[in-house]
Every structure is written in C-alpha cells, then in structure tokens.
Structure 1
C-alpha cells in the first residue's frame, strides 16, 4: 500500500513498544542493584571493597549476558522467551534474598557473600543482559521500517542507541525509586519477587511488529534466458509470524514456492505429491522428475530419503542454477540433472529404470506442453517404469466450465493409455476455478493407489463428466490406433528391460 502522506510517517514504524520494554528492563536492573546492595552491604566490614565487588559482578554479568544473547537476536520477532527467562531468574534471586534475610546467612562471611553475588546479582543481571540484544535488534527493525517511510528520520539514533538510552533512563528511575521509597518499606526479597512479576507484563500485551512499506514481494533475481523470462522473488509477510516465501516465476507465471528457512513447499500440489509419494514409495527408490522448476519436490524427496536416486530433466539450465542459488538445492542432495526437452531426454533413457516418474512440466502458461501428453509420449514414459512403477502428473486446468475440454482431453488420454488411473482434485469436483490436479497412472491393472493425496480428494473415474470436446491426444492427427498401443507391461509389449545402475 502506498504512503498517502510522506510528511506523516506511519507511527507503527516507530520503536515505542520496544523502548518501553527496554525502559522496563532498565528499571528492573536498577531495583536489583539496590536490593542486592541492601542485603550484601548491610553490616559488612569494608563497605567500599564490597561495593566494588558488587558493581564488578553487575557489570560482568550484564556484559556476559549481552554477549551470549547477541547471536540469536532476531529482527522479525519479539524476544518473548527471553522475558520468561529473565522473570524466572529474578524470582530465583528473590527466593535467595528471602532465605538470606530470614536465616541471617551474612554471618557465614566470604563464602556466603560470594553466593549472594552469584544469586542476587549474577543470575538475574545475566538473564536481563541476555534479553537486551533481542530488544536492540527488534528496535532496529522498527527504525528501518520508519526510515523507508520517511527520509527525514535518517540519521536519528539507531535501534541499539535508542534501547541503551531507554535502559539507562529506566535504571535511573528504578535506582531512585528503590533507594528512596521501596526499600525503606519492603524488604529486598519480596521486592525482587515484585520485579520478577513486573518482567512478565510484556507477555500480556500484543507483540507489535514493525510494518514496513517495503513489506511484500521483492525481486531478488531476474534474467531473460533462451527459453523464458526467469524471476526469483521473496515475499516478506507483515508481523513476522510467517517465514518469508521464495517464489520462482517463468514468463510471469508462478511455477514454484517454498518457505525461505524451512524449505517447506507453499504450493498445495507439491505438498500433496510429497505425501502421496512418501505413502506409496519404498525407501531407496529411483525417481525421474520431468520438469525441475525450483527443485522443491526432488529436494524434499532427497532430504527425506538419502538412499533415493533422484534424476531431474530440466529444459533451461538457468532454472537449475536458480534452484541451487535461491531454493536450497545442494550437491549433497545427490540429484542428477539432465538438461533438454523432457520427452527427447526420456526417449534416450534406458527402459525399466525408474520406480516413479513425475511429470511437472510447464512453460509459463499453466498447461502441460501438448507433446508430453499424447498417447505416444505416455507410452514412452510407461516404458521407463520398473515393475510396479507409477506415473504421477501435475495438471492445471478447469474441470467444469470454459476450458474444460483441454483438461478432460488430457485426463482421457492418460486413462486410455494406462490400465490403472486415479485423479485427485484440490478444490473439489464441483469447483469451476482453475486448480491443480494430481493424476496417477500405472500400466498394470488393479494398482492400489492411496485413497487421498494429502488434502487432495479422489475423483473416481465413473464420476467423471462426459465432455464432448474431450479428445485423445496423438502425435499426428488421425494416427492409426495400432501406432500407439495402450501402455502395457513390458513383458506384453516385448520391450527390452534395462534397469538403471544403482
């Protein structure tokens, strides 16, 4: 959404939610310092050395906590669990302080004072120090969002500086209030319990996040190849509650999508196909993917089964390079890539070499290229299957309404080319919207396909509508039926079986 008034930046970009919490953390530090001092320095011989030890422990614990908390600090989420840890640590300090005062542990001398420094100062201050980097990076995210919206804010204090200032102000207020008002009225132990309770307050308020005008989809890579216009984008969702999404576009059509950190697919058909393959495929199987895209499904198969043999046929080498650069594919996955037209490459592969053949080829128009779904092409794909091998095709189309003829022509061609088929629908059989379908097929009769493919529902063949426009695709119009026989088991066709090498 465009900014309607550049002179009035979006207040949601300001880091006030973070600064208030930073001031609260500083306030807690000030109270802890005075409460610990009241217990440790009371009736202590040599007040100045004891005060020096107290301040040194305070500074060391704060620095150690800040150093330890820096690596995990995130800009896209508030440090919720760090608040919980700080509250627990201060509660432990309060329990120790109560026992110290009740049993008079100060009479045990140096050992007792060392334990007091550890539990009254070291533990709670370290926990709050561990919290501070999370506040700092969170504030930086607010500041970055504000700067994108209003150039006049550039040059103002950054997130870390603002947080430090808020902490110092909060600490001064806590020290003054604790020394002048609270400690004369409340003993240190209960006061520390009160501080622990105070630190839980941020957990009960909405976890505000910076909203940047730049949130949304941004282009990371774009190029024109010999085959298409290729684009890779990243979509950042407001609020930070969802991982950014990486998408691959081919000729302006979204081809693949996955979450940036986990690599989980964001396209429903990929998740459905992954679940279907996992349910029906033994480990160590061989997979042939006709069409690579972002390699999301081949990569997921390789990650799930390190013994699987995965081969991908992809037309455009630039798409393969994009998959390795932006979509988490690594040489360690052991994926073999063959570049070229899917049908031409498949024709050169040895027969009977794969347990699963997955057809997911698109050229940016949301339809399988026609030459890959003719009777002749399907017979070639069937010849690649091992005994009990299965073919799985991703189809995009309209099952009811305008455009249904092309979709049902593809389904009819597959059904007449294979002895067993199963159609799975994403949006349901009554939907007139364009949607993904998964079409499974086998040359052998009586194959027990999974009842569902993830969330995709089955659509029984006897319930398919009769569409007059549907035809059987052939390589050549009017071809003699004898030229493209039904895909039958190889022993019935006399095909030569040459399994792929392990």
Structure 2
C-alpha cells in the first residue's frame, strides 16, 4: 500500500505482530479510515475531524473524558491501535500530554506512516508491553489512564489483574480516573471479575453498556470508569442515555449487584479473556 498523489493513505493490507492489519476507506467521509486486524475492527479515525468518534463504545469513553474537570490532562494509554482516543484528547483538551504503550511495533509504524500520527500534538507512542510500561512510570504522574488493549481479538488478562490495577492506581494522581474497555458475552463472567478487581482498588466506579449486553443477549463492549474520588455519574448517565445507541450507566448498588460474588483477577490465577464469536463485530469495534 502506498500514498496517492494527494498525499493521503491508500487502502491495503500489512503484516503486523498480532496478525494482518488492513486499512479501509470510509466512503462517507473524505478522510475517514478504519483499521482492522485479522478482520476485526480495531480503530476508526477521521484525519480531518479527530473529535469524531465512530465506534459507540469509544464515544462512551469520550463522554466520560468530556465530563472530567479541568482542561489539559496528563494521559497514559495502554493499547493504541490508530490512536483514536489520543487524537480526540489532543483535539478537545489542547495542551494535554499523552503517552501510548502499544505492544505491536509494526502496527505503530503503519499508523505513523499512513495515518498522520506524527501530527498529533503532545503525543508520544512507545512499543512496550502494557505491564512493563505502567511499571516504568513514576507515581502520581497521570490524570487519566485508559486501558484499551487487545491481542488477537481478546484482552490480555494480565493487564486486568489486581496487581496491574494497583500499579495503575499508583501512577494516577489522587483525583485521577481509570478507564477500561472490556469485551464479554452472555453471562459476563470476565466483565464481572474485572469489575470485582477494579472496585477492590478504587472507591468509586461506574459501568456503561448497552442493555442487550448487560442482559447477556450479545457479545459487546463495556466501559468501566473508576477513581478514588466521586465520578460525574449524572452527567455521564445523561449523555449515554441520549446517544444514538443508548447505554445504561450502573454505579453503587446496581454495580454491586452485577459484580455479585465474582472474585478479583490475580496474577496467580490466570484467566483467559473471552474471544468474540465471528459475527460479533457488525455494530462495534475495538479502539
């Protein structure tokens, strides 16, 4: 794949660490691009309008970010893809400083070369395992940590353990926020354990998901936000309820009920994250 005469990226396929990446042009947007890996949607970016969030679960993450206080943020992203959220933060919160840890080096180079990554102000991207990247950061250095990492269609469960979550809490400032994208199917067994893990570390949490996912009717994405301080539940719930694909916002007793008797994930008890069925991505993507 090369660039056309206008200097824009062209569609095509590339081998990357975790499969085969493909760039697809959005025929409805002049400079909209979808990044797939092994046929699974990973990211969508509009190079002309980085504030546009195509995937519904990414829009929910954006809604939470929009409701956080202040303007410029220090953000750590674990998992990058085409860096949709770093572009969004740079566009909506000028002056933010952001660092992305992405384990797939060839994917980083693809995005740098073809999706104008170098133009994003205040952004650095490093090839690194998420746990190692988090461990390398000093304490009280981030306002926001976003975990949105997948390898071959599943979250690396080692990133969601109690030990990893405690290290994320160490990196966050006292008023910082942790956001994690979880994918799960009927029964929500993995999601419940992630909720149990995160709520064991952070005092406040909320969960966003479409009702059909919460009822176990289909595989999909759930967004979990957590903090040591109160989260803007009412505003996030209002935004989610009025979205094109409305989501429920759970907190307090409702979130405790969903967690049930689920136990936190630990390094000593490896649990594989669920792999989506082949037909799971008609409505939602990844990053």
TM-score (norm. length: structure 1): 0.46
Partner of 2:198: 414
Highest CA radius of gyration, 1 or 2? 1
SS in 2 for 1:282: coil
Q: Distance in 2 between matches of 1:232 and 1:463?
A: 40
* Selected match of 1:229 from 20, 23, 29: 20
Q: Given the alignment of the two structures, is residue 307 of structure 1 paired with residue 95 of structure 2, yes or no?
A: yes
Task: Give 1:277 shift.
Answer: 0.6
| CA RMSD, Structure 1 to Structure 2 (Å) | 2.5
Distance 1:432-1:336 versus aligned 2 partners, 3 A rule? same
CA separation of 1:224/1:414 partners in 2, compared to 1, >3 Å: closer, same or farther? same
**1:113-128 aligned within 5 A:** none
- In the superposition, relative to structure 1, how do residues 441 and 278 fare at CA in structure 2: closer, same or farther (>3 Å)? same
1:394 to 181, 187, 203: 181
User: For residues 95-494 of structure 1, what are the structure 2 equivalents within 5 Å?
Assistant: 220-236=11-27, 243=30, 245-259=32-46, 261-263=48-50, 264-365=52-153, 367-398=154-185, 401=186, 403-427=187-211, 429-430=214-215, 432-442=217-227, 444=228, 446-449=230-233, 450-452=235-237, 454=240, 455=243, 456-464=247-255, 465=257, 470-477=262-269
* Matching residue of 1:76: none
- Deviations along 1:308-348, one digit per CA (max 9) or x if unpaired, are 11111111122222323333433352201121101111101
Alpha-carbon separation, structure 2, partners of 1:283 and 1:315: 29
Q: 1:357 to 1:446 in 2, by over 3 A?
A: same
- Whole-angstrom distance in 2 between the partners of 1:364 and 1:282: 36
Q: Is the 8 A contact 2:205 2:251 kept in 1?
A: no
**Which residues of structure 1 form unaligned runs of 5+?**
1-218, 479-502
Deviation per CA, 1:38-91: give whole Å up to 9, x if none: xxxxxxxxxxxxxxxxxxxxxxxxxxxxxxxxxxxxxxxxxxxxxxxxxxxxxx
Distance 1:284 1:236, change over 3 A: closer
Instruction: Indicate the structure with greater helix content.
Output: 1
Q: 1:243 to 1:432 in 2, by over 3 A?
A: farther
Change in Cα spacing, 1:266 to 1:287, as seen in structure 2 (3 Å) is: same
In the alignment of these two chains, the number of paired residues is 251
Gaps of 5+ in 2: 1-9, 271-287
Larger deviation, residues 459-468 vs 276-285:
459-468
- Contact kept, 8 Å, 1:393 with 1:438, in 2: the verdict is yes
Give the Cα–Cα distance (whole angstroms) in 1 for the partners of residues 26 and 179 of structure 2.
30
- Counting only pairs closer than 5 Å after superposition, residues 68-79 of structure 1 correspond to structure 2 as none
Whose RCO is larger (CA < 8 A, sep 6+)?
2
Distance of aligned partners of 1:436 and 1:281 in 2 relative to their CA distance in 1, 3 Å threshold: farther
Deviation at 1:409, TM superposition (A): 1.5
SS at match of 1:298: helix
Q: State the 4+ residue runs in structure 1 displaced beyond 6 angstroms.
A: none
- Post-superposition Cα deviations, 1:147-175, rounded to whole Å, max 9, x if no partner, equal xxxxxxxxxxxxxxxxxxxxxxxxxxxxx
Q: CA deviation at 1:243?
A: 4.9
3-state SS of paired residue (2:155): coil
Moved more, 351-360 or 327-336: 327-336
